[in-house]
Amino acid sequence: MRVREASVEDRAAWDAFADTEGGNFHHYFDWKYVIEARGHQYISILAENTASEIIGIFPVIKQKRYLSSILHSDTRAGGLLLKRELSDAERYEAISALLKYVDTNYSGGCSRFLLRECLTLADELSEQPTAALLDSGFQFRYDMSTKLPCTFVLELEQPFEENIWKGLWSSRLRKKLNREKRKGVVVIHDREFSYTEEFIDMFFSNSKRHGTIPYATREQIKMELNTFRDKAKLFVALLDGRPIVAQLCYYTASTCFIWESGSYVKDTGNATILCDKAVIEDACDAGYSFVEFGFTATSGLAEYKQRFKGTRVPFRIYEKRYSIPRTLVELVFIVVDRAWRDKTYLWKKRRVLWDSIVRW
């Protein structure tokens, strides 16, 4: 086995591997240019067998944070993806080799390393950690009691009307959506991305209401959209011709990923759900196999997504700490920064912060 950093010449093989092995849209090679434009180091690592065939890809971001750096390959970098047909022994060897390569070449000056293990419906959806990651010094970050974090994956079967709308969803959900349409809410697929500015405005409004820091600036989101325009769709819910909800989706060869959504105000009735319905129906009609509903860290969000009857998939996150003092300083700066931006942050996140203190 050989582990190395991928080059531009590997782009086609890298993307083909992501499609074949059920990777998510953050596995595509062109994220390298998006992330680097944001000032971070993007490292595309791959593992090959003796026949020079890819058996694993591992995109890693090295991000400067306050007094140190952090490595991550989780919600924004795709995560660890291996060839499905590998045996347990081969998987262990590949994971260990990839992690050793990162430690040897990129961990200098870092406080910690967060990574995601990718699971699909074709995998055994276990909630138990992987031995190779634990043996490499990682700790498992998954709450067995709440089953969080997770995602939901809805397997699509045509025709939508018969198999999803009537065959899977509850009559209560269908009535809610029909009432919303009678109110005059119409969902459109914005093929020209004419509502990009409105979508970004609504996305930032959502972030402000929830006390979160947006993952990118306005211009960076526009660059992201331009880079992946052929893999993106924007859906907009209109009421009296005015946008009230917008939803951005990214696509792989098999899956529609509901990525980011936004609204100007908190109370949008069931317009957001109607937007979800339009996304799912469009993906089903277009021949995609799955819809994935994205990273889910709270029970309230999980309850919202469960109504679409997707399969709950553990979102397995691991953490390795290279330096406890650096990690503590980094986390303190994060909390102070967010509390400065949002005066209610400490109160709203009190349970999460307390859980973090107890975990330490």
Mean pLDDT, the chain, integer: 89
Structural domains of the chain in order of their starting residue, each with its CATH number: 2-142+315-359 (3.40.630.30), 157-288 (3.40.630.30)
Task: Label residue 124 exposed, middle or buried (CB < 10 Å: 0-12, 13-18, 19+).
Answer: exposed
257-287 residue pLDDT tens: 999 999 999 888 799 999 999 999 999 999 9
| Residue 262: other Cβ atoms inside 10 A | 21
Nearest in space to 8 (alpha carbons), one of 40, 38, 36, 44: 44
Q: Phi/psi of residue 138, each to 5°?
A: -90, 150
Structure tokens at 217: 């600036």
What's the pLDDT score for residue 345?
A: 53
What's the pLDDT score for residue 208?
A: 85
Please say whether the dihedral angle defined by the alpha carbons of residues 154, 57, 77 and 236, taken in this order, is positive or negative.
negative
What's the pLDDT score for residue 341?
A: 57
Helix (H) or strand (E) holding 242: strand 242-251
Q: Is 40 left (phi over 0), alpha (psi -120 to 50) or beta?
A: beta
What's the pLDDT score for residue 349?
A: 57
Q: Which of the residues in the chain have pLDDT under 70?
A: 66, 121-124, 325-360
How far apart, in Å, are the Cα atoms of 56 and each of 138, 253, 302?
19, 18, 30
Find the radius of gyration of the CA atoms of the chain. 21
Provide the residue type at 330 as one letter.
E
What's the pLDDT score for residue 48?
A: 97
Alpha carbon 62 to chain centroid distance?
A: 18
Question: What dihedral do alpha carbons 139, 140, 144, 146 form, nearest 10°?
Answer: 100
pTM confidence score: 0.88
Of the chain, the percentage scoring pLDDT greater than 70 comes to 88
CA distance linking residue 75 with residue 294, whole number of Å: 9
How far apart, in Å, are the Cα atoms of 48 and each of 1, 97, 199?
6, 11, 41
